[in-house]
């Protein structure tokens, strides 16, 4: 059926991506809990400072190239061999540049010597990770996300188990960082193996003129990603600078939990960006339908999570971190709503990328970055970690409205069709919240389970999910026959 163009395939790819990344993210949360409980707020602050600093400079390794190439190859598979050969070399050079920048900045900084060593180790590990991304995009472009899943599962399980083991054996954050470095090397080996086994006719290429063309076309992607990376990671760096590593640890005890929610676009993106790009070329009229469905189902998923964390945040933080992170509760309650807006606007961001309407995205992201930096420097001195959380929430709301304005302006996307499903979802959320407020004194697993049942009951009564979509979900469960290696040349 034309209206359901590729939807079954998209959902199957999302299932591969979702399973592996959810497993990965659960492992990451468990690992952060162990870091917080064993090393305290100061240790968690040092570790998250290293991760944030590496992430900010890590944007140099992509510069929007992956998003551009996935879009182009998804629309024209014949381009794959050339892009793959060039990107493998180009990513190596960009990763080396990023690593050098982090090492130089850290060397001349005033961070404690122990924190510097952690940053060095994580930065070197990130070098191998980003080199791997020079190849991993091929899994997304060909929508063969089972290979992406293998890498994510290996990384998630290994880092969680070995990282916790290093902490429990008193190797501390240095031991954890060494584990991360070793697994980064092994992950790169696994990626090379999967690419060479499943994608043939691939050779390394050095074409400076082609690189120049790529950078020129990727510039709007690059600016968008740079601006967003800065405003998503600068809070930790500024907190560490103005208030110390303990404040950064208090903030990130909550922030790292919410980042797992904000990573929902990472789960959906590998399946949806190439599918949207393909649809924009072959069946442009279906973009509206795909966007409507994604926005409705994301709202269904996100709203109960936001309600639960807002009402039961104290219990959740105590369960995970104990009594030493009480100051993180208000940060958690603020940041969960920033995650709500970010995940929703990521839908519009992907759609605009897919149809090559990227330039104005960079403007919106740039405004968001400036707003976030200004608010951080105003609010953090007075409100500490809570100020950083408020800065993020205000920024995400501003970017949300900016991107949805672009959707309407560039794609003539109509929002009236969303009023009915969003209204029903909101009403179901009200019933759920009412129950939680009345019975939040119950054991947490009882109150959450009962409230989710109430939420699902009202979704069913209000017929939020059409019968047609239930049939599509059923099709996803039908296994497909395995195929041979994919030719990329």
Six token digits for residue 310: 């807002």
**390-411: average pLDDT:** 91
Using a 10 angstrom Cβ sphere, with 0-12 exposed, 13-18 middle and 19 or more buried, the burial of residue 297 is middle
In a domain, 419, yes or no: no
In a domain, 484, yes or no: no
The per-residue pLDDT for range 96-128, each reduced to its tens digit, is: 999 999 999 999 988 889 999 999 999 999 999
What is the pLDDT at residue 390? 97
Six token digits for residue 237: 């760096």
Range of the domain at 34: 2-414
What is the pLDDT at residue 22? 78
Distance CA 55, CA 81 (A): 29
In a domain, 162, yes or no: yes
What is the pLDDT at residue 279? 53
Cβ atoms 194, 151 nearer than 8 A: yes
Give the residue among 57, 111, 45 at the shortest CA–CA distance from 385: 45
What is the pLDDT at residue 14? 61
Owner of token pair 């039908």: 478
Owner of token pair 């429990």: 168
**453-474: average pLDDT:** 76
In a domain, 137, yes or no: yes
In a domain, 214, yes or no: yes
Distance CA 280, CA 109 (A): 47
pTM score? 0.77
Number of domains in the chain: 1
What is the pLDDT at residue 258? 92
Confidence label for 264 from pLDDT (cuts 50, 70 and 90): confident
The answer to whether residue 38 scores a pLDDT higher than 90 is: yes
Give the H/E segment covering residue 169.
none
**If you write DSSP's letter for every residue of 130-153 in order, what string do you get?**
HHHHHHHHHHHHTT-HHHHHHHHH
What is the pLDDT at residue 3? 47
In a domain, 36, yes or no: yes
Using a 10 angstrom Cβ sphere, with 0-12 exposed, 13-18 middle and 19 or more buried, the burial of residue 443 is exposed
Which stretch of 165-169, 202-206, 360-364 has the lowest confidence by average pLDDT?
Answer: 202-206
In a domain, 287, yes or no: yes
What is the pLDDT at residue 214? 84
φ, ψ (nearest 5 deg) of residue 215: -60, -40
The per-residue pLDDT for range 75-101, each reduced to its tens digit, is: 777 777 788 888 888 889 999 999 999
Confidence label for 146 from pLDDT (cuts 50, 70 and 90): confident
In a domain, 276, yes or no: yes
């Amino acid at each position: 059926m034309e209206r359901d163009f590729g939807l079954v395939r998209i959902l199957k790819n999302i299932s591969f991506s979702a399973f592996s990344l959810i497993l990965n993210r659960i492992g990451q949360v468990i690992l952060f809990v162990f870091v917080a409980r064993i090393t305290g707020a100061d240790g968690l602050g040092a570790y998250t400072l290293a991760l944030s600093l590496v992430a900010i400079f890590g944007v140099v390794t992509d510069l929007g190239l992956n998003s551009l190439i996935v879009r182009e190859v998804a629309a024209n598979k014949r381009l794959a061999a050339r892009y793959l050969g060039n990107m493998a070399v180009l990513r190596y050079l960009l990763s080396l540049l990023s690593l050098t920048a982090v090492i130089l900045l850290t060397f001349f900084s005033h961070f404690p010597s122990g924190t510097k060593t952690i940053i060095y180790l994580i930065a070197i590990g990130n070098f191998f990770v980003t080199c791997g991304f020079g190849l991993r995009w091929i899994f997304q472009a060909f929508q063969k996300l089972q290979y992406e899943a293998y890498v994510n599962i290996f990384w998630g399980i290994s880092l969680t188990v070995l990282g916790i083991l290093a902490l429990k054996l008193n190797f501390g954050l240095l031991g954890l960082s060494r584990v991360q470095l070793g697994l980064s090397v092994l992950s790169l080996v696994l990626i090379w193996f999967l690419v060479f086994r499943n994608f043939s006719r691939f050779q390394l290429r050095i074409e400076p003129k082609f690189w120049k063309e790529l950078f020129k076309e990727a510039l709007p992607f690059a600016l968008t990603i740079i601006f967003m990376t800065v405003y998503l990671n600068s809070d930790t760096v500024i907190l560490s600078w103005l208030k110390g590593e303990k404040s950064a640890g208090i903030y990130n005890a909550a922030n790292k939990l919410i980042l797992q929610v904000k990573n929902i676009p990472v789960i959906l993106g590998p399946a949806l960006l190439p599918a949207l790009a393909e649809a924009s070329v072959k069946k442009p009229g279906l973009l509206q339908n795909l966007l409507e469905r994604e926005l409705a189902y994301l709202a269904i998923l996100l709203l109960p999570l936001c309600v639960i964390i807002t009402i039961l945040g104290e219990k959740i933080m105590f369960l995970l971190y104990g009594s030493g992170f009480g100051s993180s509760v208000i940060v958690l309650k603020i940041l969960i709503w920033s995650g709500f807006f970010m995940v929703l606007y990521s839908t519009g961001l992907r759609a605009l990328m897919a149809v090559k309407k990227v330039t104005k995205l960079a403007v919106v992201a740039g405004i968001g970055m400036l707003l976030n930096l200004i608010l951080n420097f105003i609010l953090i001195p007075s409100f500490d970690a809570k100020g950083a959380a408020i800065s993020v929430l205000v920024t995400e709301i501003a970017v949300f409205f900016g991107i949805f304005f672009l959707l309407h302006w560039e794609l003539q996307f109509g929002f009236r069709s969303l009023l009915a499903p969003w209204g029903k979802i909101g009403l179901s959320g009200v019933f759920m919240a009412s129950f939680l407020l009345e019975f939040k004194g119950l054991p947490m697993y009882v109150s959450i389970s009962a409230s989710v049942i109430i939420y699902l009951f009202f979704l069913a009564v209000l017929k939020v999910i059409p019968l047609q979509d239930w049939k599509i979900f059923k099709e996803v469960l039908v296994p497909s026959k395995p195929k041979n290696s994919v030719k990329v040349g």
